[in-house]
Amino acid sequence: MRQSRHQEDHQGKIFYELSALVLNILRSPSTPVDFSDEIRPGRCPPERTEPVMQQITPAGFASLLLGVSLTLMLSGSVTFFIGFMLMPWVLGLVMFLYFVGMVSSISMIGRAILCYGSSPSSPRKDVPSWKLL
């Protein structure tokens, strides 16, 4: 119970972070990034101004959702493929352990039946009883 609650909390946290990431992408405007390391003489660094909020276009939103859904489908397909490949191993291990359990149970029953009749009956030790004062 405790493990499943921890796992649900972890999945909820991941879902929350993914939702926050998507909402931040939708809200934040795209700003051009200058990747050049060289400093150009005579040019002042641009002053920081408040970014103008831009709306995402419907095509951009559709593209974002397509990318998210494609990523989820691919990761789900990979997980399914791994599970599909491991299933024969898991079934084989379960069958092997079931067989070992059956052999162990049969041997214990056989040992109990055979050893009951062949065990010498030893005299019982008399244990003094406790006397109440």
Query: What local confidence, expressed as pLDDT, does residue 65 receive?
Result: 86
Please answer whether residues 51 and 74 qualify as being in contact, where contact means their C-beta atoms are separated by less than 8 angstroms.
no
Predicted model pTM: 0.37
Query: What local confidence, expressed as pLDDT, does residue 45 receive?
Result: 55
What is the C-alpha separation between 47 and 102, in angstroms, rounded?
79
Query: What local confidence, expressed as pLDDT, does residue 96 receive?
Result: 97
pLDDT (tens place) for every residue of the chain, 133 residues total: 455 677 778 778 887 787 777 777 777 665 555 556 555 555 555 555 555 556 778 888 888 888 888 888 888 888 889 999 999 999 999 999 999 999 999 999 988 888 876 665 665 666 666 766 5
Query: What local confidence, expressed as pLDDT, does residue 1 receive?
Result: 47
What is the C-alpha separation between 39 and 46, in angstroms, rounded?
12
Query: Rounded to whole angstroms, what are the CA distances from 62 to 11, 24, 26, 70?
Result: 25, 16, 11, 12
Query: Rounded to whole angstroms, what are the CA distances from 97 to 83, 86, 108?
Result: 20, 17, 16
